[in-house]
Structures are given as structure tokens and as C-alpha cells.
Amino acid sequence: MSDVFPVLDMTEADAGPRARAAFLERLRAAVHDIGFFQLTGHQVTGAGKLLELTRQFFELPVEERDELSILKSPYFRGYSEVGRERTKGAPDQRGQLDIGPECEPYVPSPGDPEYLWLRGPNQWPKGLPQLRDAILDWTAQLTQVSHRLLRLILAALEAPEDFLDPVVSPDPHVHFKLLHYPGRDEKSEPSQGVGVHKDYGMLTLLLQDDKGGLQVAVEDGVFVDVPVVPGAFVVNLGELLEVATRGYLRATTHRVVSPAPGVDRYSAPFFYNPRLEASMPDLPTRFVTEADGVVHDPENPLTASYGDNVMRGMRRAFPEVMSLHHPDLVKASR
């Protein structure tokens, strides 16, 4: 399976012109052919500690986790118990903690774009005080790696490396989740850890433990397992890069199958996105002329506006947060 998901060593991009050219060629093939790869040589530290803290978070007493319930946050931040988040209308069998850039509480004014509700504070567990610093350190490191990787993807497409800098600078709207997939019930069929979807933004860097369960649709309805490569991030592209290249860059559909009974899986995806207010420009690359065009899902029409896309995703994923905190927006969309 390692041929399906290439392993790319980021240090090769800085190992002289020949190694760099070979790296960029492999990167271009990966982001065009499958839209998923494994990234090593990223120099990020703290993965073991973060996975251990993730496990400890989900072992906190349920009342402590519920204190951080996402239902308390108009900003879509906090803890969701198994079954709260929905993908294509069906409940996902995973618990999660949703985190975004740390901001003061922000209340948009009438007439402001709805997506400004995504600005606000995170909720942190009192019983695991180390978690906040570990996550802020992790997301700062991953923001840098993602930015380097985005520039390498642009270089691989023979576009100016800094072309997307104004879209992400100075404050990309990063999104981070801690995830716990409990084992399925003894007698049930493999169940929806997370349902079939594409990611919204530009790049996802996933840290996973050694249990596996992430699957990618290599063709319609044919899913293959993503192997566990110790020390690597699983990287995939989000819908905005697909839109910006008329489909040359692939945002590939994926899902997670719940672990076997008695097995717990932990993972932590980091989503690298534009600034909330940014619109995604078409990428100036000759490769788009070879592209087949974006396959639009009529149930999820995409626009170039990151904020609008992500807010639409939040409406679907967290309908209770919408009806509790944003009833006027629910009414407006009917």
C-alpha cells in the first residue's frame, strides 16, 4: 500500500537542486494522483506527548469534559461526546475537542458575515492544565510546516511560491481536533467513526496512533486503508485547493471505520486554512489546463470564500450549536 500513499521526506526539499527537483516531482504526482501522502522529515517535536495528553483528556471524568461542551460555545469550540457531530446527517462515533486560534470573545454586528462567529475563545480542561500549552505549541509548529508545504506545492506546480501568502498571512484560520474513536459494539458491523467526507480548507496534517482505521476512496466507493507510518503525518488536501486548480489538485474523499471491540483509537488532525475573510484565487499554473474540472456536490456547493464554506460545514456538523446560539441564522437560511 505504500505505493498508493507515497512517503515524502521534507528534508529532501533542502538537500540541493537535484534532490529538490526529485522531491517536487514526487510531491506533484502525490497531490494530483491521490491527494494523500505521508510526510516525514518535518522536524516537528512532541507527537508522543500530544497523543498521550489526548488519551488523558478523553479519560477525564465525563462531567469535566461536559464542562467544556461545544453546546456552551457560540464559536463552535469545545467538547463533543460520541454521536454529537454529524457527517451527511449521520452521527459520527467519535468524541472530540474542537480548537481554533485563541481570540477574545467576538460578537459580530448585524450585517457582518456569519463566519465571524468562528472567532472566539477555546475551552480548556482544568483537570489537564498541560494540554493548553502542548496544543498551542503543536499548532504553532504545524502552522509553520503547513506554510512551507503549501509553498512547496506551489513550486511543484511551477507557480510563484509566495502566491498564496496573502491568503494565509498574517492569521490563517487553523482548526485542530483531538479525537477518540471508541471500539465498536461486539456484535455490530464496522461503524461510522467519521462518515465519508472531504476536508474544507487547504491542507490537513494528521497525527494518528498505531491502530489504523482511516480509509481513502481511491475510486468511487473503493476504500483503501491508510497505513500507519511511525513519525509521519498523513497529509491530505482540502476542497479549496481543488477549486483553485479546477480539480488538478485533489481533495480526496475519506472516512474512518470504528476500531474493533475493546480497541480505542486516538488521532489529532490539524487543518491549515486561509484567513477567515480570504477568497481563494485560481492558481497560476500551466497544470490546470490538464484538469478535468471540479466535481461539484449539489448538496455542498463550494465557493472561493473560505469563511462561507466553513460556516456552511459547521451548520451541518453541529446543528444543536446553531439552534441554541444562532437561531436567527437558522431562520435566515430556511
Ligand X SMILES: O=C(O)CCC(=O)C(=O)O
Find which of Fe ion, ligand X, none residue 119 binds, CB within 5 to 8 Å per kind: none
3-state DSSP assignment of residue 256: strand
Strand order in the sheet with 175-181: 7-9, 36-40, 233-237, 203-208, 265-272, 175-181, 95-99, 78-80
Q: Which of the ranges 10-18, 152-160, 206-214, 295-303 carries the binding residues for ligand X, by CB under 6 A? A: 206-214
Tell the smallest beta-carbon distance from residue 35 to Fe ion (Å).
11
Selected from 12, 92, 114, 199, the binder of Fe ion by CB under 5 A is 199
Q: Which of 268, 235, 276, 272 is nearest to 254 (CA)?
A: 235
Q: What angle do CA 214, 94, 190 make, to 5 degrees?
A: 55
209, interface contact from Fe ion, ligand X, none, CB < 5-8 Å by kind: none
Residues 6+ apart with CB under 8 A from 149: 10, 39, 203, 235
Helix ranges, the chain (H): 17-33, 47-59, 62-66, 130-156, 165-168, 239-244, 306-317, 319-325, 327-332
CB of 253 or CB of 285, closer to Fe ion: 253
| Position 283 contacts ligand X (CB under 6 A) | no
Q: Chain centroid to CA 82: how far?
A: 19
What is the widest separation between alpha-carbon atoms in the chain? 58
Residue 92 is a binding residue for Fe ion (CB under 5 A): no
Residue 256 binds ligand X, judged by CB under 6 A:
yes
Query: By the 8 A CB rule, do 194 and 206 touch?
Result: no
Yes or no: say if 5 and 38 are a contact pair by the CB < 8 Å rule.
yes
208 binds ligand X per the rule CB under 6 A: yes
267 touches ligand X by CB under 6 A: yes
List the interface residues with Fe ion, window 203-222 (CB under 5 A): none
Interface with ligand X includes 239 (CB under 6 A)? Answer: no
Tell me the closest approach of the beta carbon of residue 287 to ligand X, in angstroms.
26
Given candidates 152, 194, 202, 280, which one binds ligand X under the rule CB under 6 A?
194
Q: How far is the CB of 106 from Fe ion (least distance, A)?
A: 26
Binding partner of 214, given ligand X, Fe ion, none, CB within 5-8 angstroms per partner class: ligand X
Residue 217 or 291: which CB sits closer to ligand X?
217
Site string for ligand X, 159-178 (x = CB under 6 A): ------------------x-
| Smallest distance from Fe ion to CB 67, Å | 27
Binding site for Fe ion (CB under 5 A): 199
Binding site for ligand X (CB under 6 A): 177, 179, 194, 199, 206, 208, 214, 254, 256, 267, 269
